Amino acid sequence: MDTKILIKTIDRLTKSPKGILAIDESTKTCNSRFEKLGVPTTEEKRREYRELLVTAKNIEKYISGYILFDETIRQSTKDGKSFTSILKSKKIEIGIKVDKGTIDFGNIPGDKITEGLDGLSERLDEYKKMGATFAKWRGVFNIGEKTPTEEDMKTNAEVFSKYAKVCQEHDIVPIVEPEELIDGNHSIEQCYEVSAKNLKIVFSALKSAEVFIPGIILKTSMVIAGTDSQKQSTPEEVAEATIKCLKENVPDEIGAIVFLSGGQEDEEATLNLNAMKKLGKLPWPLTFSYGRAIQNPALQSWAKNPADFLTAQKLLVEAAKANNLANKGKYKK
């Protein structure tokens, strides 16, 4: 492990006010979104849409890295240029989702464990040759009356540690993503409680496994009320609860923290980030790593008129720019 390589990669990824664009949807997730918009669920259509995302003019002004899916990292434009070569030419870091999704865990409905450790080292060797400098692994936690259980959190934390260790051995920055799902009727207080406990467990496991903490990125949910909660959270409430939770449970020496949008409305995620950046100096670099919140306007536009790449790409760049402004606390609704 070369710690200098890891730190330099994180510096490039979190160069303020840029953020990371997640386009790492699995085939199943991508097809599901296409179906809702009446787009054919073929590999060629997925390639076409991803070409739109990768080739958007000036996106590099606002985005420092793209997280890709296994299918995407191997794809090329219609005229034969690999997506990875285009990203490199824009000086955009190449990331790769390496987990293989979740399965049920234990006897409590809602608890999940993430798979994908088998063959991880070999896959990272291949991805590194393709230009990948960082990776992502997502754990999923449902907030309910009985979930997530402590056993579920501890088991996922052990998996995060094994994944992070293997990444760092390959000089690839691991993004560790414990996502508390926004679905449900939980209050912001319940979300805080689960998030705090989960972060404590995750970092305890990472330290026990001797993972190099300054060489990882935490990708985390915001502390926010569930979508079905009677009392929805304001940006100011989300900002205060989230920053308090992170300050109390994340080591100051961590490489960086990035947020997932996690099912929030597009502008909601932007406003919440904006409110956080108004709270003053933080002990770690903090930015966004959104998927839907940046892609959504472009996807909707392209689905209606697939021939009009330019309009969709302008919407993508505008959404990225809005989150850059939020990352400086200067976004206005």
Active site residues: 177, 219
- How many angstroms separate the CA atoms of 161 and 172, rounded? 14
Burial code (b: 16+ CB inside 10 Å, e: under 16) for 191-224 equals: bbebbbebbebbbebbeeeebbbebbbbbbbbbb
Q: DSSP secondary structure string, 246-272?
A: HHHHS-TT-SEEEE--TT--HHHHHHH
User: Which residue's entry shows tokens 């990875």?
Assistant: 84
CA angle 45, 47, 50 (to 5 degrees): 110
CB neighbour class for 280 (10 Å; exposed up to 12, middle 13-18, buried from 19): exposed
Compute the distance between CA of residue 228 and CA of residue 191 in angstroms, rounded to an integer: 13
**DSSP output for 197-216:** HHHHHHHHHHHHTT--GGG-
Give Cβ neighbours of residue 94 (< 8 Å, ≥ 6 apart): 65, 66, 68, 73, 84, 87, 88, 130, 131, 132, 133, 134
